[in-house]
Amino acid sequence: MVITALDHVPHCYTADDGLTIQRLVDAAMRRGEDVELSFAGVHAAVPSSFVNAAFVGLLERYGLDTIKRSLKITNSTRQINEMIRSRVNAEAKASFKACA
Amino acid sequence: MLVIDLPEQFDGNGLYIFLGKVINQNREPMDSHIIFDFSKLKWIEPSGVVVLSNAMEWLSARNITYQYKNINIPQNHIKYDPIAYLDDSQFFATYIGKVLRNGAKHRATTIPLCRVSHSKSSGWLESCLLSWLSDNLSVSRSSLSNIDVCIREIFNNILDHSGVKMGCIFAQLYPNKHEVVIALSDFGIGIPNKISKIKADLCDQDAILLASQEGISSKSLKTNRGVGLNLLIQNVVDLNGGSLKIASGSGILKCGRSGEKTVRTPVSAPGFYPGTFIELRMRTDMIKETGDDREEFEW
């Protein structure tokens, strides 16, 4: 399933925007579908509040391996990619430490 | 009626002298009618412009009336005159409804003074700050993503933590120093007040230092992860080689480079800041044209 972020939120900026995206991705993953999350049309920088809200809840629910397998990011910029990678990896590491 | 002289130097120190005359530590106005006397003002920096603006907003919201006295602009050498600078920044247009001299308009090296709500901040960033920087530095919009994300982090902090929705912002380019200074101010709850909910016994500068560390969050929102200030410091200091000052309550956190290291120095402020003030000094010579920054994502 392809989810184009800007079809659902006015911008990829706030925690509220991120939660909207999280719910859409979560619903698809619950149905067992792979998800392509497209940032087509997003030219602005994407801050941490959006990324935390969009991805960290998914990480807690599905784990990093499933996220990497089932969620593909497309039409993104270097800044968006770096923000997603750094936040998701940091949160995965923190939750691993908490469990260890 | 209270007459308040603006400080001679309205800079990082002068703003505390000014605020100490306007607002008491219980966060109440000093009087119900204030006359601001500009006669002693000799120099004002972007920090002074946003603090002056934020003070006017704060007084108006409390139905405090105010007037300005001695807002005279000399005939010559107006480039270095602080009242002409304020006039050009649109300060008087905003607060008395008109410019002081015909043709006063924001200078090529500044943006107009703005009061920006979070809901308008994304559009304002695109149409004002980033397009101004892009034109002046002759780089594409995508080359400014570092500055873009910094300002968005700050506006999200205002939205999520300050209890207010509006920030005052002003920016100036210093072409000879290869530097852009961006100053933002809100008169919200302030960082030490938020941090006291998770650690009560810290002085204000140590509270700001703690808030700047990754993973420290007052959890104003369930999704907060306490990374915004740390990311801001990484972007400004680590990636750009610039410096950053965060002032709130009676504390200041200064962040900059020392050799290869990023140093975060908490210091006691020379007064009280009723909210949060952030000043970014970013190196324009470190901003390189990136071209098309679309990139295939890999985990």
Q: Based on the domain organization, do B131 and B64 belong to the same domain?
A: no
Q: Based on the domain organization, do B247 and B123 belong to the same domain?
A: yes
| Interface probe with B: pick from A68, A73, A77, most Cβ of B within 10 Å | A77
| Interchain contact, A87 vs B227, CB within 8 Å | yes
Enclosing H/E stretch for A95: helix A78-99
Residue A99's pLDDT band, with cuts at 50, 70 and 90, is low
Tell me the torsion sign for CA atoms A30, A35, A41, A44.
Answer: positive
- pLDDT above 70 covers what percent of chain A? 95
Q: Based on the domain organization, do B141 and B277 belong to the same domain?
A: yes
- Considering the domain boundaries, does residue B108 fall inside one? no
Exposed/middle/buried for residue B187 (C-beta within 10 Å: 0-12, 13-18, 19+): buried
Q: What is the phi-psi region of residue B34: left when phi exceeds 0, alpha when psi lies from -120 to 50, beta otherwise?
A: beta
pTM of the shown model: 0.94
pLDDT tens digits for B174-205?
Answer: 999 999 999 999 999 999 998 998 888 999 99
- Considering the domain boundaries, does residue B105 fall inside one? no
Q: Based on the domain organization, do B86 and B134 belong to the same domain?
A: no
pLDDT tens digits for B60-88?
Answer: 999 999 999 999 998 887 888 999 999 99
- How many domains does one find in chain B? 2
- Considering the domain boundaries, does residue B295 fall inside one? no
Q: A29 near A35, Cβ under 8 Å?
A: yes
CATH of the domain at B84: 3.30.750
Q: Based on the domain organization, do B130 and B243 belong to the same domain?
A: yes
| Mean pLDDT computed over A44-69 | 95
What per-residue confidence (pLDDT) applies to B285? Answer: 97
- Give one DSSP letter per residue of B124-153, joined into a string: HIIIIIIHHHHHHHT--GGGGHHHHHHHHH
Task: Give the residue from B95, B125, B142 where a domain finishes.
Answer: B95
Q: Based on the domain organization, do B83 and B154 belong to the same domain?
A: no
What per-residue confidence (pLDDT) applies to B76? Answer: 81
Which residue from A47, A56, A94 is facing B156, i.e. has the nearest CB?
A47
Exposed/middle/buried for residue A100 (C-beta within 10 Å: 0-12, 13-18, 19+): exposed
Residue B219's pLDDT band, with cuts at 50, 70 and 90, is low
Which residue from B148, B153, B215 is facing A94, i.e. has the nearest CB?
B215
Task: Give the residue from B38, B67, B95 where a domain finishes.
Answer: B95
CATH of the domain at B204: 3.30.565.10
Query: What is the C-alpha to C-alpha distance for residues B261 and B174, in angstroms, rounded to an integer?
Result: 25
| Interchain contact, A56 vs B125, CB within 8 Å | no
What per-residue confidence (pLDDT) applies to B33? Answer: 97
As separate numbers, helices (DSSP H) first and strands (DSSP E) second, chain B gives 10, 10
Q: Which tokens sit at B199? A: 């650690």
B120 touches chain A (CB under 8 A): no
- Considering the domain boundaries, does residue B296 fall inside one? no
Q: Based on the domain organization, do B25 and B71 belong to the same domain?
A: yes
Q: Based on the domain organization, do B170 and B54 belong to the same domain?
A: no
What per-residue confidence (pLDDT) applies to B26? Answer: 86
A45 touches chain B (CB under 8 A): yes
A3 touches chain B (CB under 8 A): no
The candidate with the shortest Cα–Cα distance to B231, out of B205, B213, B206, is B213
Cβ neighbours of residue B182 closer than 8 Å, sequence gap 6 or more:
B46, B129, B147, B151, B169, B170, B171, B279, B280, B282
A47 touches chain B (CB under 8 A): yes
- Considering the domain boundaries, does residue B200 fall inside one? yes
- Give one DSSP letter per residue of B50-116, joined into a string: HHHHHHHHHHHHTT-EEEEE-----SS-GGG-HHHHHHHTTHHHHHTSS-SSTT----TTBPPPEEE
Query: What is the C-alpha to C-alpha distance for residues A79 and A11, in angstroms, rounded to an integer?
Result: 15
B268 touches chain A (CB under 8 A): no
Q: B48 near B10, Cβ under 8 Å?
A: yes
Residue B68 domain boundaries: 2-95
> Is the pLDDT assigned to residue A58 strictly greater than 90?
yes
> Is the pLDDT assigned to residue A73 strictly greater than 90?
yes
Q: A7 near A24, Cβ under 8 Å?
A: no
Q: Based on the domain organization, do B39 and B69 belong to the same domain?
A: yes
CA dihedral B120, B115, B86, B276 (to 10 degrees): -120
Query: What is the C-alpha to C-alpha distance for residues B211 and B201, in angstroms, rounded to an integer?
Result: 14
Which residue from A18, A46, A78 is facing B295, i.e. has the nearest CB?
A78
Instruction: Enumerate long-range contacts of B60-63, CB under 8 Å, 24 or more apart.
Output: B62/B29
Q: Based on the domain organization, do B192 and B237 belong to the same domain?
A: yes
B122 touches chain A (CB under 8 A): yes
**Beta carbons within 10 angstroms of residue B16's beta carbon:** 19
Query: What is the C-alpha to C-alpha distance for residues B206 and B219, in angstroms, rounded to an integer?
Result: 19
Q: Based on the domain organization, do B133 and B275 belong to the same domain?
A: yes
Residue A97 three-state SS: helix
Radius of gyration of chain B (CA): 19
pLDDT tens digits for B14-66?
Answer: 999 999 999 987 889 999 999 999 999 999 999 999 999 999 999 999 999 99
Q: Based on the domain organization, do B271 and B168 belong to the same domain?
A: yes
Q: What is the phi-psi region of residue B151: left when phi exceeds 0, alpha when psi lies from -120 to 50, beta otherwise?
A: alpha
Which residue from A18, A68, A77 is facing B142, i.e. has the nearest CB?
A77
Q: Mean of the per-residue pLDDT values for chain A?
A: 94
Q: B170 near B279, Cβ under 8 Å?
A: no
Radius of gyration of chain A (CA): 13
Cβ neighbours of residue B19 closer than 8 Å, sequence gap 6 or more:
B51, B55, B271, B272, B273, B274
